[in-house]
Structure 1
Amino acid sequence: MNTLVAQEGLKIDWANMPTYNTIMAVAVGAGLISLVLLGRELLRAPEDVEPAGWALSFGVLGTILTTTGLHMTLTWPLAAGGFPFDNIIFGETSLGFGVLLLAAALYLWKRGATALAASKPLQSLARVAQPITVFVGGLGLSLVAIAVAGIKYQLFAAPPQEPISGAFADHPMVEATFMSLLIAVVGLGALAFAVLVNRVRSTGTAGVWARITGWLWAVSGVLFLLFGAMNFFTHIGLIVNTM
């Protein structure tokens, strides 16, 4: 843990360290869950999918993640408090996911109905998505690398001034392990998704990869959503306790 954070009388200049990974975590969780739900609909009854609705959903989430992720990536606001690595962990990954969601929103809005009306809608969508699986797979590997770094350097530990999470301040490996495993699960889901898309494109069937991807992203999405929602309380408490 950063020695500055461990001080009981910690004061943080919040005006110079804007922190918004709360809404980012909620949006990431909602995005992962939405992808799983859309995938389930596509596998069960693609003719019942309403592309405009999913385009609006992905557009909202993508806008949140792209704008906050881009700002964090370019300005490094968390460096002011001694956490420059968090700008990479949260900013760059959110930016990548956000742009992907915006691309999906644009495609579903403009071409979704046409793709779903094709004789083989799953293969049609897989052909469109296949080129981007290179980037999705790269993000998956990056998330696994972040998870390894989180364990090795004991990142993510909350200061004692933060409610709930701060109870583990003297045991930094607790939150480091939880967050690292959560991030790793998302990364493994991204790698499984890349395999899934390429399999559907070549064979027309999802096989076991649909279940693997679905479970990895469903579990991690729910945890991210709940963790982000909880952080709206814990981060407000941290701000109050360190002003």
Structure 2
Amino acid sequence: MFEISAQDDLKIDWAQMPTYNTIMALAAGVGLLLVVALGWQMMKDRPLATEGWAIAFAILGTILTVTGLHMTLTWPLAPGGFAFDNIIFGEPSLGFGVLMLGAAIILWRRGEIFAEASLENGGLRTEQARRLLWPISIFVFALGLACFGIAAAGWTYTLFAAPPQEPISGEFAEYPEVEAAFISGLYVLVGIGSVLAPFALLKLNRVLLGIIGVVWAIAGAIFTLFGALNYFTHIGLIVNTM
């Protein structure tokens, strides 16, 4: 799968190394940002065009579900020594994607519950959301624990390091702990928000909801920017190792 020439040039058989965590990172990052934005609008009793939110959630959820399911069920997706990527990227994407599809269905079929709630209705809209979302928040909690496990594995085994042939990220190839800490830190942020979700929804605790919004917004923005950057770095890696 990997070949090293006399000049120490890394060569990869890309026919055996499919990779698409670029689009997964973009969809996951934007998905987190949309969850935060929707929650903020609901807490502020802002008018909602629920069909638009449903379509956005459905599109991102479909991308994450399809790619995450393929990566989860194809073992190993990349037999060149990266089987752990199936777990690290595939399974969380699958879980998040299915959650977004579920949210899309709720917003599409029962959108009037949220769209019609206005300032004079007080907390009616958020209370309806709490009742609908609390049961599945237990799974969100479990995914948060999984994120902590992934972060711990990243730190322990110094995962995520890019080879020197990859533009930009490869500049840190001699310091693998840098990218390991960076990506693991993102999973920790997502995990913090996830494990707080059921407790925040139980009593609609605005402090906990605020913490969730902050950590997910930060993680979502970084995932989005990092995913966009990877379109350059991953293409560069492929070109440099063909």
Normalising by structure 2, what TM-score?
0.92
Partner of 1:158: 162
Question: 1:4 deviation in Å?
Answer: 7.6
Question: 1:115 deviation in Å?
Answer: 4.4
Is the contact between residue 17 and residue 77 of structure 1 (CA under 8 Å) also seen in structure 2?
A: no
Partner of 1:88: 87
Partner of 1:11: 11
Partner of 1:75: 74
Partner of 1:29: 29
Quick one: distance in 2 between partners of 1:209 and 1:112?
25
- Structure 2 regions of 5+ residues with no counterpart? none
Question: 1:207 deviation in Å?
Answer: 2.2
Is the contact between residue 56 and residue 105 of structure 1 (CA under 8 Å) also seen in structure 2?
A: yes
Q: Is 2:107 aligned against 1:136?
A: no
Is the contact between residue 45 and residue 125 of structure 2 (CA under 8 Å) also seen in structure 1?
A: no
Quick one: distance in 1 between partners of 2:43 and 2:87?
35
Quick one: distance in 2 between partners of 1:114 and 1:188?
29
Encode CA deviations 1:7-64: one digit per residue, 9 max, x unaligned: 9321111112210000000000000000011011001124x01111110110010000
Q: CA RMSD in A?
A: 1.7
Quick one: distance in 2 between partners of 1:79 and 1:157?
16
Normalising by structure 1, what TM-score?
0.92
Deviates more, 1:77-86 or 1:172-181: 77-86
Superposed structure 1 runs of 4+ greater than 4 Å apart:
none
Partner of 1:79, secondary structure, is coil
Encode CA deviations 1:200-222: one digit per residue, 9 max, x unaligned: 2xxxxx32012101100000000
Partner of 1:11, secondary structure, is strand
Quick one: distance in 2 between partners of 1:231 and 1:92?
20
Quick one: distance in 2 between partners of 1:8 and 1:33?
42
Partner of 1:170: 174
Is the contact between residue 16 and residue 78 of structure 2 (CA under 8 Å) also seen in structure 1?
A: no
Is the contact between residue 160 and residue 179 of structure 2 (CA under 8 Å) also seen in structure 1?
A: yes
Quick one: distance in 2 between partners of 1:8 and 1:146?
31
Quick one: distance in 2 between partners of 1:197 and 1:116?
20
Partner of 1:49, secondary structure, is coil
Is the contact between residue 162 and residue 170 of structure 2 (CA under 8 Å) also seen in structure 1?
A: yes
Letter in 2 for 1:135: F
Question: 1:76 deviation in Å?
Answer: 3.3
Quick one: distance in 1 between partners of 2:226 and 2:15?
24
Matched residue count: 234
For residues 226-241 of structure 1, what are the structure 2 equivalents within 5 Å? 226-241=225-240
Quick one: distance in 1 between partners of 2:20 and 2:210?
32
Q: Is 2:197 aligned against 1:198?
A: no
Query: When you count helix as a share of all residues, which structure comes out higher?
Result: 1
Percent sequence identity over aligned pairs: 56
Partner of 1:55: 54
Letter in 2 for 1:136: V
Is the contact between residue 19 and residue 77 of structure 1 (CA under 8 Å) also seen in structure 2?
A: no
